[in-house]
Amino acid sequence: MLSLSIVKRVKTKAVELSTASFVAIFLVACGGGSSPSSTPPPVSVLPPPPPTIPAGQETLTLKTSQDAADFLTKVSFGGSAENIDTVQGELASAILTAEFTKPTTYILPSLRTRFEAGEVIDNRAHANAFWNAMVEADDQLRQRMIFALSQIVVISDNPMGNKPLTNAHYIDILSRNAFGNYKDLLKEVTYSPAMARYLTYLRNRKGNASTGRMPDENYAREFLQLFTTGLVELNMDGTPKLSGGKPIEIFDNEDIVGLAKVFTGLSLKGTAFWSADVDGEYSRLQMFEDYHSELEKTFLGKTITAGTRGDAAIDEAIDHIFEHPNLAPFISRQLIQRFTASHPAPDYVERVAQAFETGSYISIDETRFGTGERGDLQATLAAILLDEHLYDGTAPSPQQGKVREPVLRFVHWARAFDVGNVMAENEWWLLYNAGKNTRLGQQPFQSPSVFNFYRPGFVAPGTATGSAGLTAPELQTVNEGAAIGYANFMLNYVFNTSSTRDDTIDSFVPDYTDEIALAETPEDLADHLNALLLGGRMSAATKERMITVLNEVPIRTDPEEAAADKMTRASLAVFMAVTSPAFALEL
């Protein structure tokens, strides 16, 4: 009979045998089927089948340098030539999975240590640290998400005065919850000193009928209008529901009055409502029951019974509002706008909103993201960044793209050229850069209002996008002064002449080694910058103009003079690239 060892050897071979071949092996092993002198029939062994690529992997593979560069502008603040080479050939889903597991960069701990050691902390220290993290932190997707969330659950340090630790605490809340659950984020934000100061519910007291005092309504209004539901009922694709041809309003002033009672009694951590512990400005707010409204609270079809304690009332309120059907499309559309598309198509919004709603997303290569709990931001981000329409091989139209705000463009430049000595604290123009014709025009955590730098539904009048009815929020900040300001700002950084606090420290120094090596061949330099910065979308007119301008800069024969001329050519080419229309658009 056939020995067990032969069976095992047959089973462990990674080949497929025809029935005839297996019979032949069986007969030989048993010593039968032919006489000893006869020639055994030939054994036909089929070659192993080619390895199969799991469904969707081919689609999500970043095959070209342009694929890699485009993906880096979405999953990070852009990258250097080395970064592009590293991710080319990789799976987008695998890169995203790796980003979700990277250690979190926090800002508060180091500032707190310095403060508690007696150091005076600069009032812009939190913003400096965030600039530095955007440029050089390894958890790039998290930093992008912090920046995105900062434009939805907005605080601005402009009206708060010198509160760097308060604001650092808030940034770390966004960091900690960036890949968590949106409900957890809302609860932490509600108990943050920064939000309480900014939206004026810090030490918000219950009403007093005898004096006519009413609880502050600011946070209740913005919590609904901006952080959760929006103003009108939405379909899952983000389009308004209509009744009689008109949008359906979600809440009225009575809802605000009822909800405002919930957010009473919160003050800085301490032994008394009107005083605080030394770390109160960067600790979770504390509920003081004597100042919390004990009255019944009714809003959005929910009633919290009289006498419910403060923290429990806040939990009930947020839990109820979080279940509103508007939340998924309202937040999903805004996150899409911050990452991939200024005017996302309704079907794209719906796919992302479904991921938010279910807390789960399965990419086309069957990679699973999310915990399965409603509001999971990891699933939501994966749905945004891995949506099949971004990888279907069709040339994207400008309508599908995103207008890149000034912060994204500047940080992309800094990362593309691996700037050295990253010290935002030494850069005047990174400390205060809103307004003026020498400024970037946008500063994280310095929004002019709770409505952010721009509204998500903004349609720019007198523009091609406006004529097409496309939302382009980022264009709300664009005017003649802003355009001049951005160009002047970038001119100084590209040529390394930015204004510094300490002239002995040369910070934010770009590395143009690769560009200098190409300076004698302007066409090659233009092609290089096209791949590095513009995702291969440099127009023929821009390329021709760049070559013409560079050729007008002669390269002298003296070695030192030649080196200076090559640096001039390299810097000039970079400046033309970062001020070109293609650099302002992400597709």
Residue 8 has pLDDT above 90, yes or no: no
> What is residue 25's predicted lDDT score, i.e. its pLDDT?
28
pLDDT tens digits along 75-110:
999 999 999 999 999 999 999 999 999 999 999 999
pLDDT in tens, 497-521: 999 999 999 999 999 999 999 999 9
pLDDT of the residue at 329: 98
Structure confidence at residue 11 (pLDDT): 34
Its pTM stands at 0.90
pLDDT of residue 272 exceeding 70: yes
Residue 38 has pLDDT above 60, yes or no: no
> pLDDT (tens digit, 9 = 90+) per residue, 408-438?
999 999 999 999 999 999 999 998 765 556 6
Using 50, 70 and 90 to split pLDDT, how confident is the model at 54? Answer: low
- pLDDT-derived band at 478 (thresholds 50, 70, 90) equals confident
46 confidence band (pLDDT: 50, 70, 90): low
The residue-averaged pLDDT of 145-171 equals 95
* The pLDDT of residue 393: 79
307: three-class secondary structure by DSSP: coil
Instruction: Please give the pLDDT value at position 386.
Output: 98
- Position 538 pLDDT exceeds 60: yes
Query: What is the overall mean pLDDT for the chain?
Result: 91
State the Cα–Cα distance between residues 474 and 339, nearest whole angstrom: 12
Q: Which two tokens stand for residue 102?
A: 């990277």
Question: 212-216, 430-434, 532-536: lowest mean pLDDT where?
Answer: 430-434
Tokens (6 digits) for 246: 């008109």
Rounded CA separation 135/413 (Å) = 9
pLDDT for 381-393, tens place per residue?
A: 999 999 999 998 7
Domain ranges of the chain: 1-51, 200-325, 342-398, 402-586
Mean per-residue pLDDT, 218-243:
98
The answer to whether residue 45 scores a pLDDT higher than 70 is no
Interval 388-413 mean pLDDT: 88
DSSP classification of residue 303: E
Cβ atoms of residues 466 and 460 within 8 Å: yes
Exposure string of 191-213, with b = 16+ CB inside 10 Å and e = fewer, is bbbbbbbbbebbbbbbeeeeeee
Length, in residues, of the chain: 587
Tell me which amino acid residue 395 is: A
Q: Quick one: DSSP state of residue 260?
A: H
d(CA 143, CA 148): 9
Token digits of residue 182 = 């949106």
Beta pairing class for 361-362 and 368-369: antiparallel
pLDDT, greater one: 22 or 437: 437
**pLDDT at 534 exceeding the cut of 60:** yes
Task: State which H helix or E strand residue 353 sits in.
Answer: helix 346-358
Please give the full DSSP string across 310-348, using - where no structure is assigned. HHHHHHHHHHHHHT-TTHHHHHHHHHHHHHT-SS--HHH
- More reliable by pLDDT, 58 or 55: 58
